[in-house]
Structure 1
Amino acid sequence: MGWDVINLEIKRCRSMSDVGERIRCLKELFERTQDGMVAFALGEELEACGNMEEALQYFEKAETLFPLARYKEMAKSAISRIREKIQRNKEKIKGAKLTPPSVSSMIKLSEINLNEYDQQTTLFVVACSKTKIWDINESAPEFVPARMAYQGDDFKKFLKWVEESGLEQKGFRWLILSAKYGYIEPWHPICNYSVTFSDEATGPISDETLCRQVLYQTRWGVLLRRFRTVICVGNELYLNKVKNSFKTAGSNVIRAST
């Protein structure tokens, strides 16, 4: 089974509304493919359910199966994060529920103190980019995970900050706001497209659909409307899209720059 087909199958499994069905689908896919990306997706779903021990097993399998160093590093980061969570659970350490600072003006990512935020209720949202991997590498597969597909300068700066800050290892979640797909997870496979919020003629996702995603959809098994603080990394247009879609949820939206 080719990589393009595997990514499509991962997308199909993760689009199921029931988390149990998603996990069952991914496990069946893994049995057939023994693929590292499938194992990683399984790890994410199991982590979202709180099944840390089994999630760790699949992240470890992903590290072993991934052929490229950059994928292995992603798996290592996940392994480190899960091991820390398991240790905290064993020691019965309960993190304090901190009230995030109220910020009205734009702040820099480098100035954010993650210790002031609750990783369970804080969500980072980064804008997608016009430049994509297909603009750089014409032989890239038809479908590529979003975090690897977007190649804009600000997006790459955000990824660098994610790595340097240990955002994922500390248990924080982040999504990409795509003009085509809406709110997508970093490993969500995407194809090449030319859609922009600034030009309605290109057919961007509607404000109503974005609001419905926030109100009714889950990521990692968590309803998007449950996030109390949303930190948006993007221009004014993207900030307004985030503010509008999280308005009904009553979330505190903060703008950050790279």
Structure 2
Amino acid sequence: MDNEKYRIEKDTLGEVKIPASALWGPQTERSRQNFKIGQRMPFEIIESLLQIKKAAAVVNEKNGEISKEKSNLIVEVIDQLLVGKYQDDFPLVVYQTGSGTQTNMNVNEVIVHLAAEINPKVLLQANDDVNHSQSSNDTFPTAMAIAAYDAVKKLLSVLEHLENSLNDKALEFKNIVKIGRTHLQDATPITFGQEISGWSSQIKHNFDYLQNNKKTLLELPIGGTAVGTGLNTVKDFDRQMVEQLSVQKGISYLVAPNKFQGLAAHSAINFETYSEQQDNLFLFGPIVV
């Protein structure tokens, strides 16, 4: 590491020494040095932010906010990043200042630096071009919702398979009698099939909770910018972004009906996480009948 080569970049706070081979820029490097504890930001969040940047490039070009040349280059770069080849260039951890500001800028900076390698004739700016009409305050909550929805879809598939397997076992062992236990003490008779049916019902209930509430994750607050008012965006930018993201992901997203709530609260994610924790408790915790 001592022999590693560095380059010097400048921002409003001064000069920053960055590893020469890194695709990130000064804001990423400052956060990387200031926060050296915690797990790395999940790549699912990075992927969601990349989808947002891609949609923004398309929408901004349609609205005449950036040139077609810049839009096409941003899209080309993001398609390469979504493959996952450059995951090491997203080094930041979950602990950072602001509302995901450093990760949002990490994504912007990587896009700009990789674009310079692909087509050095087109000069992209992290803020003015890649982050145009956006704020960390609306991109990061939007990315959280997108990533959480994808995760819940995968979880529901697993839970459905597990419930079906438990139902088969409940039927298979319906005539096997055992002693039920309460407070870790032998209590009264129960069949093993009845016991398994209780486990299956737990899974079914949490499946239904997740299924009924995951639709709230479809409400995207993108377009709210810094505080929910949509300052510095063109008219209908929020609707255009949601429509473009729906095309890119093949999912029918919705414009958040109240962006002040969408930026400030994450009730849907909290509920989905709680339900998932209950499933984990069932899967790995003690079962007492």
Determine which structure has the larger helix proportion and give its number: 2
* Alignment TM-score, normalising by the size of structure 2: 0.24
Task: Name which one, 1 or 2, has greater alpha-carbon Rg.
Answer: 2
